[in-house]
Amino acid sequence: MAKLNSMTGNYAEAAKTLEDLEKSDPDWLDPHVELATLYYKLHRPEDGQRERGIVQKIGAEQQQAGPHRND
């Protein structure tokens, strides 16, 4: 739903949905990626920078952990 809201220009609603997802699963990378972009569209560059930092941190942690195996 957040992506649809973002694509239709309803940035504030998209951001709210993604912020809720972020709260429920803070280590999920996708909401942080989307929020980084949305915050810039909402003229909130400080929040966008914060989200970019979180994306880099989570990405580095995932890369360090390596691929997940389902044995």
Assigned domain for 42 exists: yes
The range of the structural domain enclosing residue 43 comes to: 2-64
Q: Alpha-carbon distance 10 to 57, whole Å?
A: 28
The percentage of the chain sitting over the pLDDT mark of 90, rounded to a whole number, equals 82
Rg of the chain in Å (alpha carbons)? 13
Assigned domain for 16 exists: yes
- The count of structural domains within the chain is 1
33-65 confidence digits (pLDDT tens): 999 999 999 999 999 999 999 999 999 998 888
Q: Alpha-carbon distance 16 to 33, whole Å?
A: 14
**pTM of the model as a whole:** 0.83
